[in-house]
């Protein structure tokens, strides 16, 4: 039997045992406020402020229990990272600029490699550069082609090579210009208002220079409405003329078909002759020339047209309309220069100003002895109107008026023709 005091103590113990059970019962949810007295404990209507920067936040304990935090104590800091001592910068020192984004950072203690690009690791050389001819093969001097250098080279049994002379270097550079790549067909019109200045001869020698140095096909067309003499400058292989070519134009489908209507010289230059029969009264018209060029441009890369001496004949408009470049031939005399200048003025007045700017004037010396005419002033006069001016010296082989062979020309003449061909070739990539 128990007394009243014992019953009262038992009831108190029973109530204390029920309080924790009620706290952790399933009826309580996360939305029910948990008891606590800490400054960061959430209340039903209280908004929790974020803790101070860097303050230590203890992990939540099971059952919603949070440890008490004394606000009078300094905030707990995370473990400090070891840091290197900093030294003061000397006077005048400027902080280097920051490296751009994406720049690789070298490892601590890394030694920079000489020759490496700034801000990055050295890039390995490509296999193409390593296998280049200039990288693998020892470069040798070019063999001399003329003068005392060639004599020394041959006299020593090719053991002593003094290298090529400046003249040989100049010639090699001109040949490289002549051999510039050409896409399509380039049409050159040869003009002169005055006869006897060497227009047909210049047409043949310029075409022969192109044909002998380039690997593509070159043809010269005699577009003189009268009886032209272009076909007399090389050995005649056929009696066919441009009239026969136009008559059979529908049957021509390949280069071998065209080749049966042309004659070819030793330089590989082909010539399409004009009508030689004086009984034929029909002139070479503009339509005839256009049909001829439209046919030839499918089989040839360079077409030179030897025009007549006038500017008003029927074929001239067709020649000027399709020409990519113009070569105006003048003699070194006063009257020849005046005729050439009048030709350029006429072209500018009739809407061919752009063609005049792309033109080349040739001052051809048709006499063996120099005259009193100042050719330098003559060249300066034409140079203000056209793209370039070239001079061709007198040559005894050209004066013969017979078939032309480049091997028989003098050295100065061949060099002048090479410069003329290189000057014309400079316009291959700048045509309209």
Percentage with pLDDT > 90 across the chain: 41
If pLDDT is split at 50, 70 and 90, which confidence band does 432 have? very low
pLDDT of residue 17: 47
pLDDT tens digits, 72-114: 655 655 555 555 555 555 555 555 565 555 555 555 555 555 5
| 200 half-sphere exposure, CB direction, 13 A CA radius | 24
- Single pTM value for the model: 0.67
If pLDDT is split at 50, 70 and 90, which confidence band does 169 have? confident
pLDDT tens digits, 365-377: 877 776 788 888 9
pLDDT of residue 255: 95
Whether the CB-CB separation of 24 and 54 falls below 8 Å is answered with no
pLDDT of residue 31: 47
Could you say which DSSP state residue 182 is in? -
pLDDT of residue 401: 85
pLDDT tens digits, 184-206: 999 999 998 878 888 999 999 99
Q: Report residue 59 as tokens.
A: 């992990």
Q: Where are the domain boundaries for CATH 3.40.50.300 in the chain? A: 182-430
Cα-Cα-Cα-Cα torsion 381, 384, 386, 388, nearest 10 degrees, comes to: 80
Domain 182-430 class, CATH top level: alpha beta
User: Does residue 20 register a pLDDT over 50?
Assistant: no
Sheet holding 325-331, edge to edge: 263-264, 270-272, 218-222, 302-306, 186-191, 325-331, 360-364, 388-392
């Amino acid at each position: 039997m128990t007394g009243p005091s014992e019953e009262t103590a038992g009831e108190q113990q029973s109530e204390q045992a029920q309080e924790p059970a009620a706290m952790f019962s399933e009826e309580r949810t996360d939305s029910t406020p948990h008891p606590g007295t800490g400054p960061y404990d959430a209340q039903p209507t209280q908004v929790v402020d974020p803790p101070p920067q860097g303050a230590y936040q203890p992990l939540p304990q099971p059952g919603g229990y949070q440890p008490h935090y004394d606000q009078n104590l300094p905030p707990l800091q995370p473990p400090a990272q070891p840091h290197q001592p900093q030294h003061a910068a000397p006077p005048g020192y400027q902080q280097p600029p920051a490296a751009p984004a994406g720049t690789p950072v070298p490892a601590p203690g890394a030694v920079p490699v000489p020759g490496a690009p700034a801000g990055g690791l050295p890039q390995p050389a490509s296999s193409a550069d390593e296998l280049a001819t200039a990288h693998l093969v020892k470069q040798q001097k070019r063999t001399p082609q003329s003068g005392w250098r060639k004599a020394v080279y041959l006299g020593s049994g090719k053991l002593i090579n003094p290298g090529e002379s400046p003249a040989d270097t100049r010639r090699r550079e001109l040949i490289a210009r002549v051999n510039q790549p050409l896409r399509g067909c380039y049409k050159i019109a040869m003009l002169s208002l005055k006869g006897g200045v060497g227009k047909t001869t210049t047409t043949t020698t310029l075409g022969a220079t192109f044909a002998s140095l380039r690997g593509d096909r070159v043809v010269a067309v005699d577009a003189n409405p009268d009886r032209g003499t272009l076909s007399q400058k090389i050995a005649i292989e056929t009696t066919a003329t441009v009239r026969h070519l136009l008559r059979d134009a529908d049957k021509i489908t390949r280069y071998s078909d065209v080749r049966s209507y042309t004659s070819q010289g030793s330089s590989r230059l082909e010539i399409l002759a004009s009508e030689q029969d004086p009984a034929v009264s029909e002139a070479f018209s503009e339509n005839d020339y256009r049909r001829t060029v439209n046919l030839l441009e499918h089989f040839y890369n360079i077409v030179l047209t030897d025009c007549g001496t006038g500017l008003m004949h029927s074929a001239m408009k067709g020649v000027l309309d399709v020409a990519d470049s113009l070569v105006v031939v003048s003699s070194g005399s006063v009257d020849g220069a005046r005729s050439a200048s009048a030709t350029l003025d006429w072209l500018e007045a009739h809407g061919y100003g752009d063609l005049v700017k792309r033109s080349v004037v040739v001052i051809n010396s048709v006499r063996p002895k120099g005259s009193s005419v100042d050719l330098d002033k003559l060249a300066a006069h034409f140079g203000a109107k056209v793209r370039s001016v070239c001079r061709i010296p007198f040559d005894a082989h050209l004066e013969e008026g017979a078939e032309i062979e480049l091997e028989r020309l003098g050295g100065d003449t061949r060099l002048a023709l090479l410069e003329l061909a290189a000057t014309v070739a400079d316009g291959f990539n700048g045509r309209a």
